Structure 1
Amino acid sequence: MASSSLQTCALLLALAGFTISLVTTMSNGWKSLDTATVLVTTDWISEGLWMDCAVTDFGSIQCKRFPYMLSSDPHIQACRALMICSILLGFLATVLTLLGLKCTNIGLSDEEAKMKFTVTGGFLYILGGLCSMVAVSWYAAMVTAQFFDQLYAGTKYELGGALYLGWAGSVLYLLGGILLTCSCKGKKRQDYSFNKYAYSAAQGAHQPHNYTKNSETMISNKEYV
């Protein structure tokens, strides 16, 4: 019962991380521009992986997609690929985990097979969390390096709110995956201990019989002498 509750909580954490990572991928707030230090006609500028947005003086938001996806900076393209991999791994992990949970009866009835599905889902969640963590941290490192580089001639952005959201989602991703794998390992260790105890009990039950048999043999030999 405790293992089933742990698996459910782990799945909820991982699903929360998966949802946050999905929102982070589609967000346009990966980096923002402080317009107080730059002579621009807009009040606020932000940029994501797919488009940039600006808020005009009249309060309207205008977003524009990047004209050529392959013409973006290499680190942006790498972050896109990592976030897409994170989402795909999270989706696959969710399907496998739902099939392997102890409280579900979807397609599988063998306990060992369900445990394997759950462990696989946990590892995929961990991989998805690592992908999103690397993408968000890499993007933040590039923004920070450009901001403090005195020789950088381009526009200097600051860290956007989507990066902090991505870090939180990555942590939930990893935490959910680790709890899933630990719940299955705990169940396997418990089964091993039970089998070992049963084997020891069986050995103890057979020992008096052998002792009695050996004693009768010794008595027979003594009478023969």
Structure 2
Amino acid sequence: MSTALEVTGFFMCVASWLVTGISLANDYWKISSNSGNVIISNRQYENLWHSCAESSTGVADCRDFQTMLALPGHIQACRALMIIALIFGLVSIIVSTMGLKCIKIGAAKDESKGKLAVSGGILFILAGLCTMVATSWYAARVIQEFHNPFFGGIKFELGSGLYIGWAGAVLSILGGSFLCSAFKRISKAKPKGAYYPSGKPATIYTAAPVSNPDTARAYV
């Protein structure tokens, strides 16, 4: 059961890494709102890298953000968190592959493989938390601007890229938790006993007590 749980968690983590990458590349992190009395002839949407405007004919014109230093702080932080999540995920996939019980690499012991699996699971959990913080922070800013009556710019709504990112974060956290079940293999490891050169514990002989004092003097 433990092996099946670890393998399930591993595939969930690989899927979460792919989903997180799709979320980062997705153009629709926020989409212009059509609510209100003003009819908007084109749709605008943005992600962490560029903003786009789509006309009624379906032709999109995208413009990359020219400078990073002029961007709002939350966009810079979300970029960094998403990239860190992908790096953590890639490292976790490599480490977890070497730690799976069903994969034999060299003469690695079961205890050491369990430690690798747990390390990979922890990294996947950290990757999921980074993705969750980035997407939730971005969504909070979109919602705040939407409900702000004094905000004079275009009001946006949550896009599909945020929902994909949330799905990847949940998969990463759950998969990492399943991989951490390998801790049972570490805890069940037998403690090391004393070392005997012959491979068997030495036999210790003790002298039997002598009840006759005269016999004891004879041995002396």
Q: Identify the residue that residue 207 of structure 1 maps to in structure 2.
A: none
Q: Identify the residue that residue 33 of structure 1 maps to in structure 2.
A: 32
Matches within 5 A, 1:191-210: 191=189
Distance 1:108 1:94, change over 3 A: farther
For 1:25, the aligned partner's letter is: L
For 2:7, the aligned partner's letter is: T
CA distance in 1, matches of 2:161, 2:70: 23
Contact 2:111–2:186 (8 Å) recurs in 1: no
**Runs (4+) off by over 4 Å:** none
Q: Identify the residue that residue 187 of structure 1 maps to in structure 2.
A: 185
Contact 1:96–1:121 (8 Å) recurs in 2: yes
**What is the TM-score with the length of structure 2 in the denominator?**
0.82
Q: Identify the residue that residue 128 of structure 1 maps to in structure 2.
A: 127
CA distance in 2, matches of 1:113, 1:145: 48
For 1:54, the aligned partner's letter is: A
1:35 Cα deviation after fit: 3.6
1:138 Cα deviation after fit: 0.5
Question: Pairwise CA RMSD of aligned residues?
Answer: 2.8
**What is the TM-score with the length of structure 1 in the denominator?**
0.80
1:36 Cα deviation after fit: 5.2
Contact 1:100–1:108 (8 Å) recurs in 2: no
Q: Identify the residue that residue 49 of structure 2 maps to in structure 1.
A: 50
Contact 2:114–2:183 (8 Å) recurs in 1: no
Matches within 5 A, 1:83-162: 83-107=82-106, 109-162=108-161
Which stretches in structure 2 are left out of the alignment for 5+ residues?
A: 192-207, 212-220
Question: Aligned to 1:54, what secondary structure does the other structure show?
Answer: strand
1:39 Cα deviation after fit: 5.1
Distance 1:36 1:10, change over 3 A: same
When you count helix as a share of all residues, which structure comes out higher?
A: 1
CA distance in 2, matches of 1:112, 1:191: 7
CA distance in 2, matches of 1:160, 1:72: 20
Which stretches in structure 1 are left out of the alignment for 5+ residues?
A: 196-216
Matches within 5 A, 1:4-43: 4-35=3-34, 37=36, 38=38, 40-42=40-42
Q: Count matched residues.
A: 205
1:82 Cα deviation after fit: 0.4
Contact 2:110–2:185 (8 Å) recurs in 1: no
Q: Identify the residue that residue 205 of structure 1 maps to in structure 2.
A: none
CA distance in 2, matches of 1:106, 1:151: 61
Q: Percent identity?
A: 37
1:40 Cα deviation after fit: 4.1
1:5 Cα deviation after fit: 1.6
1:114 Cα deviation after fit: 1.2
Contact 1:47–1:53 (8 Å) recurs in 2: yes
Q: Quick check: 1:64 aligned with 2:63?
A: yes
CA distance in 2, matches of 1:108, 1:78: 43
Q: Quick check: 1:165 aligned with 2:168?
A: no
